[in-house]
Chain A
């Protein structure tokens, strides 16, 4: 099951560049939350702070608190533990090219020393079914490389890979921006199904996509969160002038 995420006074830097400034918000459990905003506004940095991926860059720095279901992921946990609970799907599909489809999905478990074959088989099948890829790949599981799939299939493979470690939160950083419309709609359908089981945070440049999949939407601008509210409110009656300008296409 998903957990809620409570972000308090989050600040992030890349070198001297203050990319996130005083972010405060509560992301509800088992819902999809969309983050929108122009390029470079800090929304990707924000999701990378939610699984402590931001700090893998040597010049990056973070302050503030992020609580997931009561656990302060910066004060009380190691990055590796955090990332096991928080799955991430990236902008470009990035399956492991040397691994079969099966091994790609099982990678998170296998590389963490989990080796029960029968259970692995079950988890791989369940994850591929959950990512709506099972029927397309079930005959080639161990024969084909993950890199041999189409772009849309690769992205669903990456979702299956993230689901296989049974996370509570699923972060998606523009998961459909490199895909064609058909693949995009499959990913959106998937988000719709998955949000009953996981807390989903999705970064998107596509405002229709945010409107379609998310209950809550946050608007980022220049490293600050301008507005965070129900998606309906953001797109029909935003409180902030800048939000309105952005969603009506006046800038960004």
Chain B
């Protein structure tokens, strides 16, 4: 055995191996710990306030006990629906342009730079932007403009989703081996068709992950909604009306003077996280069906 020839060095290697493994495990725990702590604390603070009413009732009038966040749950769903309708197609489309058609062009570099800057813009600025675009202007023949609305909130969140979706789409497409593109082109498939049916499809698990990341990020955003969706104490699914949202409701309750509302805020935060996890898992489950045997 060669290890016997150098007993000291062998022992040192074994020690290094263990040490690095332990360090990796510690790092993993440090990543998981905050999430677990947040979850545990939310359950501790919020679970006791969760009941049937929370999911089916609108908020109780100021000072009264009871009430729920049904309108905020539905409102968040509406806002995120609008946001995804805006952010996912534009983000994926621009990502495809960056990776497949515009590679190396000046426009592509400009788009990539813009997306990276957009990613770093504070979320409240997104709210101001949507305010300036939709809430502020009054145009007679466009009744959707000129007031606080679900639409304005959805647009603010949608713009926030674009850079994340765009850049992950680009990165995932760049990871598709060129051999796959050449295989498709070699069959006489037009470039656009090969891009959509082969390259994008091959990269789709990663692209979906990018969309989910963007979705989960904006799902908890409060600032962009403050002066766009505004919030609503009553039932509304009208896109032209102010609409309630879970983060807004949590924010309002958290800064209120009533102990009862604080407890509801904790419950709301728990529900928000649970719903995000649920939505992401659902998308993963649906998109992972139909994956073939032997495909990594």
Contacts and interface: CB of A to CB of B under 8 A. Distances in A.
Contact of B294 (A84, A148, A165): A148
B187 A56 contact: no
Contacts of A51: 186
Interface stretch (B68-76, B158-166, B175-183): B175-183
A241 B197 CA distance: 50
B202 A144 contact: no
Given A84-B188, A162-B187, A98 B201 contact: yes
B288 to A, nearest CB: 12
Given A80-B188, A94-B179, A112-B189, 7 more contacts: A90-B186, A94-B182, A98-B292, A107-B184, A111-B197, A144-B292, A145-B292
Interface residues of A, number: 36
Interface in B196-217: 197-198, 201-202, 204
B193 interface: yes
A189 interface: no
Contacts of B194: 111
A126 interface: no
Contacts of A147: 294-296
Contacts of B106: none
Contacts of B179: 90, 92, 94
A97 interface: yes
B62 to A, nearest CB: 55
Task: Please classify how large the interface on chain B is, using the bins under 10, 10 to 19, 20 to 34, 35 or more.
Answer: 20 to 34
A100 B291 CA distance: 9
B187 A100 contact: no
A81 interface: yes
A98 B202 contact: yes
Given A53-B185, A87-B186, A96 B198 contact: yes
Contact of B193 (A82, A111, A161): A111
Interface of A: 51, 53, 56, 58, 80-85, 87-88, 90, 92, 94-100, 107-108, 111-112, 140, 143-145, 147-149, 158, 161-162, 165
Nearest to B194: A111
Closest 9 pairs between A and B when the two form their complex, measured CB to CB: A148-B294, A84-B188, A108-B187, A145-B295, A145-B292, A88-B186, A83-B188, A94-B179, A111-B189
B7 interface: no
Given A145-B292, A148-B293, A148-B295, A96 B183 contact: yes
Contacts of A81: 188
B191 to A, nearest CB: 8
Contacts of A58: 104
Which of the listed residues A56, A58, A149, A162 has the most CB atoms from chain B within 10 Å of its own CB? A56
Contact of A100 (B198, B204, B292, B296): B292
B202 A107 contact: no
Nearest to B292: A145
Given A58-B104, A98-B204, A145-B292, A80 B190 contact: yes
Contact of A97 (B184, B190, B202, B293): B202
Given A80-B188, A107-B184, A94 B292 contact: no
Contacts of B295: 97-98, 145, 147-148
